[in-house]
Amino acid sequence: MFAGLIDLPWWGYVVVALVFTHITIAAVTIYLHRHSAHRALELSPVVSHFFRFWLWLTTGMVTKQWTAIHRKHHATCETAEDPHSPQFFGIKKVLFEGAELYRAESKVDATMDKYGHGTPDDWVERNIYSKRSGLGIKLMFIADVILFGPIGITIWAVQMIWIPLFAAGVINGIGHYWGYRNFHCEDTSTNVLPWGILIGGEELHNNHHAYGSSAKLSSKWYEFDIGWMYIRIMEMLGLAKVKKMAPRIVWDTSKAKIDMDTLQAVITHRYDVMTKFGRSVKTVWHAELSKLGSSDQANALRRWLHLDERNLKEQEMTELKKALGENSQLAKIYQLRQDLSALWERSSLSKEQLLSNLQDWVKKAEASNIAALADFARNLKCYA
C-alpha cells in the first residue's frame, strides 16, 4: 500500500492537521485582517509573501477580495449591504453558508473597486495568486498525499473546511449573534470567547468592532489574543511593526468640570462610555421594566433600549414609544441615552458647540432625579 514520505503515529497526523490549520488562521488574522484590511501593522516582505503563498495553497483566497469584503462589512455593518450579516441573512445562512456569501460578494466589481485599494498588485499576484486561485489548493492536495499518504487526504480536507467553518461561519455568524460584549457598539458584534486561540484572536470580535484599526484584539486583563502574541514576537525579531493600537482610557478623579480634554476622551472612547451608561442604569431599567407587561415584552424592551432609533424596525419603535409613554423614568433615561450618542454623530458642529452640548447633557443628567444617572454624569467628568 502506498505510504507517504513521513510516517507518524495517529496523534502525529492530528498535530500536523492542527498546525497547518493554525498557520492558516494566523495568516488570515495577521496578514489579511490586521495588516491588509485595517493597516494596523506593517509586515516585512518575507513574512507578507509567505502568508500570501500559504493562503493560496490552503484557501485560494485573494488578498484584494478578502480585504474589500471585510472593509465593506465594517462600512455597512448590519444593513442589507453587509456581505454577511446574520441579522439580515439569518444565523443559519451565515454559519453554514458563509463561504458562499463570500464568493458571491467577491464577484461584485463595485465592491472590489471601492474597498480593495492598497492590496498587492505585483506580477505574482496578477498572474498566479489571483488568476489561478484554485491551483494552490490542488498543489496542497498533492503535497499532503505525497508527504503523508492516504491520510493526507483527510489532512487536506480538514484544511479546506477550517476557514469556511470558523472564519466565514463562526466569526461572521456567531460573532454577531451570541457572546458577551465589552463595548456597546452600533452593531451587534460579540466576543465569542475571552481566549482567542482557536481562531487566532478573532474570537474577540466585539473588541475589534469597537477599535477596528487596533493591531491588538484583547481588551480586558483576562482576555488572550494569540494573534497579538505572534505579532509581538515578529516585532521583536524585526519582522513586523505595529502602527495602531486602541487608545488607553485615562481617568482623572480630580476633575470637576467638562472641558475639551473630556470631550475628546468621550468621543474617542464612545463605546466604553455607552457601555458604562448601560451598566449604570441597568438596575433602574430592570426595576421599571418589571412594571410593564410580560417577561417577553420586558426582554424585548430591554434590548431596544440599548439600540439607537435608526436600528429599530417601525413596529419595534412603535411598541417602545408606547412603553416609554407609560413610564416617565424609562423615557427620561432613553432620551438621555439618545442625546449622548448623538454627540459624536454631529460632525458638522464645532468643538465649542459639541463641548456646550456635552456640558448641557451633564446638567440634565444631574438634574434628572435619577441617582444612577447623576453618578454616571459625575464619572463622565473623569475621562481624561
pLDDT tens per residue, range 209-240: 999 999 999 999 999 999 999 999 999 999 99
**Backbone CA torsion sign across 53, 129, 42, 159:** negative
Q: Burial of 243 by CB count in 10 Å (0-12 exposed, 13-18 middle, 19+ buried)?
A: middle
List, in sequence order, every residue forming a beta bridge with 42; answer none if it has no partner: 241
Residues 200, 327: Cα–Cα separation, whole Å: 46
Mean pLDDT, to the nearest integer, of 65-86?
A: 93
Residue 372 grid coordinates = 444612577
- pLDDT value, residue 180: 93
pLDDT exceeds cutoff 70 at 2: no
Mean pLDDT, to the nearest integer, of 168-187?
A: 89
Residues 205, 202: Cα–Cα separation, whole Å: 6
pLDDT exceeds cutoff 70 at 308: no
Lowest-pLDDT range, 28-32, 47-51, 329-333?
Answer: 329-333
Residues 246, 218: Cα–Cα separation, whole Å: 10
Helices (H) and strands (E) in the chain, counts: 20, 4
Which residue stretches of 1-44 are H helix?
A: 10-26
pLDDT exceeds cutoff 70 at 51: yes
- pLDDT value, residue 87: 82
The whole-model pTM stands at: 0.86
pLDDT confidence tier of residue 124, bands split at 50, 70 and 90: very high
Residue 209: count of CB within 10 angstroms of its CB: 23
Ordered by start, the domain boundaries in the chain are 10-242, 260-380
Look at strands 41-43 and 240-242 and give their pairing: antiparallel
Of the candidates 54, 13, 22, 1, the residue with the CA atom closest to the CA atom of residue 154: 13
Lowest-pLDDT range, 54-68, 218-232, 370-384?
Answer: 370-384
Residues 57, 141: Cα–Cα separation, whole Å: 9
